[in-house]
């Protein structure tokens, strides 16, 4: 079936919309892909913007690979500092791809956060939803907590609320609240509805309050509560329904995966690890696991060949002269305590009760440690 603009078929949709729903890219990025001639419909190259196709009956390919509509996935990521908010970085810096490997399907971030900014960032494979939340007319609120140099006065707060003149124009009114002053610095919370590049940092430079720390607390009312930096979770059905009611996207609210397992992903450590402390506390469970083995006593066995009891050295057996005594020395006879009953073959000296004399001199193990190595003749 040939692709004709305006074909009277209710199932026909614009190509960029089909590519966006297939998780290829957002609508704007899909338009560039189409214009570059990378898209084929039923074997024919289509480079005209506005062309339509039937996503169910037509064969749509991009770079030779067929486009198939994916199940929509919507996740919230707590982006750490020191990570770019793209799926790849030409400079080799950590990217969102490393954080979202466990999602199971290709997703892309909705919007962006600066390399040094942390906080809430949505990701999806639904290009239509991404475009809906990023369109300026939607005025999606984004809430930040910010630490700036200098003590902001009520007049400064009012100036931020009304708008700041930047190189690319006046900023829209914002909600700004002073949280506290701290050692010549100010903590503020502000909510903006624009998506200009590094807008808050430029606002601080323009007003004489350079931004020292910036974190996004919420995006479109969805917060990072319960997520540590580097973790992500699926959006709940209630959150998707709230987004649809407020901004018209997503078009459908599928059942979100169960969140019983809690947040997922790898936690990025933002502070250096503590050096291990000396002593047993530094080794952790390894010390406790090795302790029982070190306390094992050597087993006593009867030696019929030599007519005396021998001890097989255990893991914690004595070494050196004591070990030689335990193994028995050639030509030597085992020492028997005075008053003890004679040794009977097949029984160990551990099986008999010590008498008063042996108890006064100590246990057999203590005597063994006091033995000296016999002299060689």
Provide the annotated active-site residues.
114
Query: From CA 194, how far away is CA 112, in angstroms rounded?
Result: 12
Look at the block and give the residue holding tokens 């909705």.
110
Q: What is the DSSP string of 172-198?
A: PP-EEEEEEEETTEEEEEEEE----TT
If we measure between CA atoms, which residue out of 112, 76, 122, 140 comes closest to residue 199?
112
What is the spatial distance between Cα 77 and Cα 368, in angstroms, rounded to a whole number?
66
* Alpha-carbon dihedral sign for residues 107, 112, 115, 116: negative
**25 and 108 in contact (C-beta within 8 Å)?**
yes
Q: Which DSSP state fits 375?
A: P
Rounded Cα–Cα distance for residues 66 and 60 (Å): 6
Residues 6 or more apart whose Cβ sits within 8 Å of residue 272: none
Per DSSP, 268 falls in state: P
């Amino acid at each position: 079936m040939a692709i004709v603009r305006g074909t009277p078929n209710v199932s026909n949709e614009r190509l960029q919309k089909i590519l966006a729903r297939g998780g290829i890219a957002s609508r704007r990025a899909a338009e560039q892909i189409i214009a570059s001639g990378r898209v084929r419909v039923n074997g024919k190259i289509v480079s005209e913007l506005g062309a339509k196709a039937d996503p169910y009956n037509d064969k749509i390919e991009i770079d030779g690979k067929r486009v198939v509509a994916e199940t929509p996935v919507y996740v919230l990521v707590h982006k750490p500092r020191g990570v770019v908010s793209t799926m790849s970085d030409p400079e080799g810096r950590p990217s969102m791809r490393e954080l979202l490997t466990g999602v199971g399907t290709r997703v892309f971030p909705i919007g962006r956060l600066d390399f040094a900014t942390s906080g809430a960032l949505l990701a999806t494979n639904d290009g239509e939803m991404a475009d809906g939340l990023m369109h300026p007319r939607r005025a999606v609120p984004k809430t930040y907590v910010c630490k700036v140099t200098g003590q902001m006065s009520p007049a400064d707060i009012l100036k931020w609320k009304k708008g700041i003149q930047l190189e690319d124009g006046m900023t829209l009114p914002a909600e700004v609240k002073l949280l506290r002053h701290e050692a010549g610095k100010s903590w503020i919370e502000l909510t903006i509805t624009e998506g200009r590049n590094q807008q808050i940092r430029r606002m601080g430079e323009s007003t004489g309050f350079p931004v020292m720390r910036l974190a996004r607390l919420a995006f479109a009312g969805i917060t990072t509560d319960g997520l540590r930096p580097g973790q992500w979770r699926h959006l709940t059905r209630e959150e998707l329904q709230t987004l649809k009611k407020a901004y018209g996207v997503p078009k459908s609210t599928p059942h979100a995966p169960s969140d019983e397992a809690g947040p997922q992903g790898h936690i990025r450590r933002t502070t250096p690890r503590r050096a291990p402390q000396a002593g047993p506390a530094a080794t952790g469970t390894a010390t406790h696991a090795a302790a029982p083995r070190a306390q094992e006593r050597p087993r006593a066995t009867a030696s019929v060949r030599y007519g005396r009891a021998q001890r097989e050295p255990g893991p914690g057996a004595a070494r050196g002269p004591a070990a030689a005594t335990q193994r028995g020395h050639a030509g030597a006879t085992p020492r028997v305590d005075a008053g003890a009953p004679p040794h009977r073959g097949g029984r160990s000296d551990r099986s008999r009760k010590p008498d008063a004399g042996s108890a006064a001199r100590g246990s057999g193990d203590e005597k063994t440690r006091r033995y000296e190595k016999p002299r060689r003749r």
